[in-house]
Amino acid sequence: MDAEERLLAAMERLIRLQQEISSAILSECGVPDITGKQIGYLKVIDEQGDMTFTRLAEITRNSKPTVTEMINRFVGMECVYRERSSCDGRVLFIRLTEKGRRIARVEEASLALLVSRLEGSLDSDDLDRLFRIIRNIR
């Protein structure tokens, strides 16, 4: 096996480990079958703060009825809830529950757990070598 094949196999192993960790987190949240697209919508809500149905439709390039259907599904999954604006009672904000926040941040959480696994598996010299190698990647 040449260097390129070995590097490809190593990268595939790291990616597979992160995906396994992500799947475990999603299973713990009770949503093992959530799609990447749905996670993406939750990430948008998480990143934007005060999110209205209209704004979410604009960002995701969906119709308001599609967004309403999606939010209804998320409410049923206990990922989001609706909250009326205190300034204008006609405006509904979409808010993430703690579960929704955890799902929206699954990539970051799985990466952090993967890093913890690396730290637990490598001695300090190997970690220093890995840092230097990664820093040199362009």
Please give the DSSP secondary-structure letter assigned to residue 2: -
The pTM of this model reads: 0.84
Residue 71 CB neighbours (<10 A):
21
CA 54 – CA 44 distance, rounded (Å): 13
Fold of 8-130: Arc Repressor Mutant, subunit A (1.10.10)
User: What is the enclosing helix (H) or strand (E) of 5?
Assistant: helix 3-28
CA 8 – CA 16 distance, rounded (Å): 12
Q: Which residues have C-beta within 8 Å of that of residue 91, sequence separation ≥ 6?
A: 52, 84, 85
Which parts of the chain register pLDDT below 50? none
Q: What is the structure's pLDDT at 15?
A: 95
CA 7 – CA 13 distance, rounded (Å): 10
Q: What is the structure's pLDDT at 105?
A: 97
Q: What is the structure's pLDDT at 14?
A: 93
Q: What is the structure's pLDDT at 82?
A: 95
**Length of the chain, in residues:** 138
Strands 80-84 and 92-96: antiparallel
- What are the pLDDT digits (tens) for 59-87? 999 999 999 999 999 999 999 999 998 88
Task: Check if the beta carbon of residue 99 is closer than 8 Å to that of residue 106.
Answer: no
Q: What is the structure's pLDDT at 40?
A: 95
